[in-house]
Structure 1
Amino acid sequence: MSRPTQVDPRGLRFAAGITAVVLALVLVTPRPVSLALLTFQTAVFAIAAFVSLQRSPYAITFATLVRPRLGAPAELEDARPPRFAQVVGLAFAATALIGFALGTPAVGYTAAAFAFVAALLNAAVGLCLGCEMYLAWRRLQPVRA
Structure 2
Amino acid sequence: MSDRTPGAQVRVDPRGPRFAAVLTTLVLVVALVTGSGWLLAAQAVVFALGAALGLRFSPYGWLYRRLVRPRLGPPQELEDERPPRFAQAVGFVFAAVGAVGYLSGATWLGVAAGALALAAAFLNAAFGYCLGCEMYLFLVRGRARLGQASR
Match of 1:102 among 95, 101, 104: 104
- 1:4 corresponding residue in structure 2: 9
Counterparts of 1:98 and 1:61 in 2: how far apart (Å)? Answer: 27
1:17 and 2:22 are equivalent in the alignment: yes
8 Å CA contact 2:37–2:98 kept in 1: the answer is no
TM-score by length of 1: 0.93
8 Å CA contact 2:37–2:110 kept in 1: the answer is no
Structure 1: which 4+ aligned runs deviate by more than 2 Å? 142-145
What 5-or-longer segments of structure 1 have no aligned partner?
Answer: none
Trace 1:1-145 onto structure 2 (pairs within 5 A). 2-29=7-34, 31=35, 34-142=36-144, 143=147
Aligned residues: 142
Deviation at 1:97, TM superposition (A): 1.2
Q: What is the DSSP-based 3-state SS (H/G/I as helix, E as strand, rest coil) of the residue aligned with 1:141?
A: helix
Q: What is the DSSP-based 3-state SS (H/G/I as helix, E as strand, rest coil) of the residue aligned with 2:110?
A: helix
The one-letter code of the counterpart of 1:132 is: E
Q: Could you tell which deviates more after superposition, 129-138 or 101-110? A: 101-110
Deviation at 1:69, TM superposition (A): 0.5
Deviation at 1:103, TM superposition (A): 1.6
Deviations 1:89-136 (A, max 9, x none): 000001101112322100111000000010000010010000000000
Counterparts of 1:4 and 1:47 in 2: how far apart (Å)? Answer: 18
Counterparts of 2:100 and 2:37 in 1: how far apart (Å)? Answer: 11
Deviations 1:43-101 (A, max 9, x none): 10000000111011111101001111002111001000000000000000011011123
The one-letter code of the counterpart of 1:84 is: F
Deviation at 1:3, TM superposition (A): 1.3
